[in-house]
Structure 1
């Protein structure tokens, strides 16, 4: 794995650790000012900008304080010279939710760009599979 891939892997792992700790500044540190995020809860058309991104975290931290897990299970990174993407699967849920549905995974996709020589997250997408959908 090249240096850029390792830097990005470390960046995402540190972000996930900050999320788990409820450390807002640690969550924000490597994100672009013009970040776009599509998340599980509304708004369904996403949030745009670091200030809007910042506002999404306190409710999540309050929910997580009930004993929820937030841990990376798998992480893949692909990096070019100036842009990169990563995708991951995470365990995210309360003990009860994970006990009732242990296979549930939060899907994470991240788009990054190099800004003055350092990788920053420009796009973040979180989703859960729609378990109510029926294959036809």
Structure 2
């Protein structure tokens, strides 16, 4: 593992921990001011840290307590001052209203190093679904990522 890859993995671990704890002030410094973030919820594209911050707060507010994010199949590639990562995340928690739920999320994260510091410049998350029924693919004991 290269030093750059190790730095990216640490940054992503810090991002996950901040999300799990709903710590917006720990999360946002990981994002570039010019961040472009594609999400599975409208308006689908969020530009700039203010819009991304509001989107994360909306997501955090959907849970009564903390969020569990298990990272699976993380791949990191770096070249010079650019890097990207892709992964599957198992998002689990108690939703407002008391329902315990889990959902798979696919994520791709692009980063750039500037002044010796890596920042997330683009992120794209999506939720897998069954195209025949248009229903979200929910995890079960037999449905694990391939």
TM-score range, shorter chain: 0.7 to 0.9
TM-score (structure 2 length as normaliser): 0.80
- Specify every segment of 5 or more residues in structure 2 that has no aligned partner in the other structure, as ranges: 95-99, 133-146
1:16-54 CA-to-partner distances (Å, cap 9, x unmatched) read: 11000000011111110000000121112x010111111
Task: Confirm or deny: 8 A CA contact 1:70 1:91 kept in the other structure.
Answer: yes
Would you tell me which structure has more strand in proportion to its own residues?
A: 2
Q: Judge which range, 13-22 or 68-77, deviates more.
A: 68-77
Would you tell me which structure has more helix in proportion to its own residues?
A: 1
- Partner of 1:65, secondary structure, is strand
- The residue that corresponds to 2:97 in the other structure is none
Aligned pairs (5 A) from 1:47-66: 47-66=46-65
- The residue that corresponds to 1:117 in the other structure is 116
Q: Assess, with a 3 A threshold, how the Cα gap between structure 1 residues 33 and 93 changes in structure 2: closer, same or farther.
A: same
1:130 aligns with 2:134: no
Aligned pairs (5 A) from 1:83-122: 83-94=82-93, 96-98=100-102, 104-122=103-121
Runs of 4+ in 1 over 4 A off after TM superposition: none
- The residue that corresponds to 2:75 in the other structure is 76
Q: Assess, with a 3 A threshold, how the Cα gap between structure 1 residues 47 and 73 changes in structure 2: closer, same or farther.
A: same
Higher RCO structure (Cα 8 Å, ≥6 apart) = 1
Coordinate RMSD, CA, aligned: 1.8
- Specify every segment of 5 or more residues in structure 1 that has no aligned partner in the other structure, as ranges: 99-103
How many residues align? The count is: 128
1:36 aligns with 2:36: yes
